[in-house]
Chain A
Amino acid sequence: MTETEFLLWVRGPALQIATIVFVLGIVARILQMVMLGRKANLAEARGSALAGGLRTMVTRSVPDKGTFQRSTFTIVSGYIFHIGLFVTIFLFAPHILLVDEVFGLSWPALPTPVVDATAVVTIITLLAVLIHRLKDPVMRFLSGFSDYLVWLVTFLPLLTGYIAFHRIGLSPTMLIALHILSVELLMVLFPFTKLMHTFSLFIARYYNGAIAGYKGVHS
């Protein structure tokens, strides 16, 4: 297989398989979760479960003061790398071009140097996050294989993308193929790992807020 053939396979059949697994997997996992259902609450409500649920879906993004002081690194690094991932994935001109080609959807990009700098910051933050996980007594104790796997498959597309953009080492064809392959790895593992939290956290927050909201408490 030549480099070009490899790229064509990665961009063709591999991408199709990954996309199918990604989309169907996410839908199936969400259904699997939600369809477990929950019992109707027979206690007289004091507040609205719906309003509480929707509210917590948003407000849980902002920690209270005491929590921020106790978990500063986790919160700040979490913010940085999540925003960094969003910027590098969705606001990088070549990515938007790709979406435009496939779906005919397009939106404004950030200037490439800005995205490039964001990528560097995000890579450094993700490395710091890994070191934190390995050093913090609680996080190290809680973490298992899947936590490190999830970190790795999130990190690889960022790293390969950065290397491909700066054309370091291998040929441009090989670099872009490896970058796409790393994204496919992420997509295939996504529905079966905690990467699903991207979607399920909103469901979790909804339930949390709904349970509290029913009792008239903002959670």
Chain B
Amino acid sequence: MSGPSLEKGLAAFREQIDAPVAAFFNSCMHCGMCADACLFYTETKDPTRTPIYKLEPLRKVWQQEYTFWGRSMKALGMSKPVTDEELGQWEELVYDSCTLCGRCSMVCPVGNDIAYMIRKMREGMAAAGHAPDGLIGATKRAVTIGSPMGVKLPALQAQIRHIEEDTGLEIPLDREGVDYMCLLSSMEIMNFPEYTAALAKIFHQAGVTWTISSEAFEATNSGIQIGVSEIAAELVQRIVDAAEKLKVKAVISPECGHAYMAIRWEGPNLVGKPFDFKVVHILEVLDELREQGRLKITGKEMQRLTYHDPCQIARRGGVLEQPRRLLDMIADDFVEMPEAGVMNWCCGAGGGVSSNERADDLRLKVFNRKKEQLDAVQAEGLVSACANCRIHLEEGLEEYHMDLPVLSLTETIAEHLAEDKS
């Protein structure tokens, strides 16, 4: 990220403008419905946080350079070009006030995929030097250390030793020719080692061969969150190299929303070629094992459970039915929150917001949306499948004095595995 400048930012905008962007901007009638779809507006009532308005500098470049009218006005010197100050003002709207959750993209009556455009706009913002310090730091750590949280291999190895002692099961590192290579988010390595333990237990019972690569264990991709495709591609390439080296059939994306979007949907496009291996989300793997009868469960959770769909796994990722079928196996009293599933409300911390300390107060404020959604069902346990959501959900629940345990779906399944007979 050497030498950001306004010119580079605007050049990146131009590079990002494609047919969908043109159709989207051209169709917006300023009806304001996207505001009501966005928790950053509904919880602040600040009109500048209207999703489509967050794209105003990008829209200006499109209008001034990609439309007859705009070009004529520009030629006559009658339009104001986008300035560096303007991009500076928009930084807070594009990074702090948007989690790329894509709820606005589901609501817009003319069909604008606003989140698609915010993702693109961040490319120009980063190139112009207007990305939040927190995200810049996380991205630098991801490139130099290999993890946005600065987790190094020895830390992972230490956790693996603990997990092996606790479970009595092997966590295979760098094993060639197995079915699955599992990725982990730094959050899971440091805060939720239970996730890796759960993988070991489930895969042991189901007879699945798997491994973790010592060269590419990090699942998250700060390059995507900040909007620097070159870095995002480099991080994806590490995973591709490791998967090819270990000759695995598939790579499993862990309980992390954006990591799934990054490797499953953006990955091949970032590195410029299709993968030779499959990419699956852990919930897809578990649901497949369930379907094959390889997931033997005993007992059920008796408290009333509900499920929070992580945006990038559900709405933007397409994994919607699997968690519900899995929950059906282990939950005695499962209840859906209003607007659950494809229209679920974001927790407020995705899309790089949680790496951006400046947005800490804001993300807790907008958590009120989640609180109201939760209040409607009076759940006694909140299940999800994203470590980032989980950390923020726990923080939000504490902030709003709600006594509700947050559970990982994978871990909860592991707790209900039937005794191993072998």
A215 in the interface (beta carbon within 8 A): yes
Distance in Å from the Cβ of A53 to the closest Cβ of chain B? 10
Distance in Å from the Cβ of A69 to the closest Cβ of chain B? 9
Give 29 A-B contacts (CB < 8 Å), ordered by A residue: A28-B68, A33-B22, A33-B23, A42-B274, A43-B265, A43-B269, A43-B274, A44-B279, A56-B111, A60-B108, A60-B111, A63-B109, A64-B107, A64-B343, A66-B343, A74-B33, A138-B32, A138-B47, A138-B50, A139-B30, A141-B53, A142-B47, A150-B29, A194-B27, A196-B27, A200-B23, A201-B110, A204-B20, A206-B111
Size bracket of the A interface = 35 or more
Contact at A70–B23, with CB atoms within 8 Å?
no
B370 in the interface (beta carbon within 8 A): no
Contact at B26–A39, with CB atoms within 8 Å?
no
Q: Which residues of B contact A57 (CB under 8 A)?
A: 111
Contact at A137–B36, with CB atoms within 8 Å?
no
| Contacts across chains A and B counted by CB atoms under 8 Å | 177
Q: How many residues of B contact A (CB 8 A)?
A: 61
A212-B31 Cα distance, complex, nearest whole Å: 23
Supplied contacts A34-B23, A208-B105, 11 more A-B pairs, CB within 8 Å: A29-B68, A32-B67, A37-B18, A56-B111, A60-B108, A74-B32, A136-B32, A201-B27, A205-B110, A209-B111, A219-B105
Name the residue on B nearest A34 (C-beta).
B19
A196-B17 Cα distance, complex, nearest whole Å: 19
Contact at B19–A207, with CB atoms within 8 Å?
yes
Contact of A42 among B33, B47, B68, B272 (CB under 8 A): B272
Name the residue on A nearest B339 (C-beta).
A66
Q: Which residues of B contact A141 (CB under 8 A)?
A: 47-48, 50, 53
Q: Which residues of B contact A207 (CB under 8 A)?
A: 19-20, 23-24, 111, 113
Contact at B19–A142, with CB atoms within 8 Å?
no
A63-B341 Cα distance, complex, nearest whole Å: 16
Contact with A along B48-90 (1 / 0, CB 8 A): 1010110000000000001111000000000000000000000
Q: Which residues of A contact B (CB under 8 A)?
A: 28-29, 32-39, 41-44, 46-47, 56-57, 60-61, 63-64, 66-67, 70-71, 74-75, 78, 133, 136-139, 141-143, 147, 150, 192, 194, 196-197, 200-201, 203-209, 211-212, 215-219
Contact at A211–B37, with CB atoms within 8 Å?
no
Contact at B317–A215, with CB atoms within 8 Å?
yes
Contact at A74–B31, with CB atoms within 8 Å?
yes
Residues of chain B from 1 to 45 with CB closer than 8 A to chain A in the complex:
17-24, 26-33, 35-37, 41, 45
Contact at B45–A137, with CB atoms within 8 Å?
yes
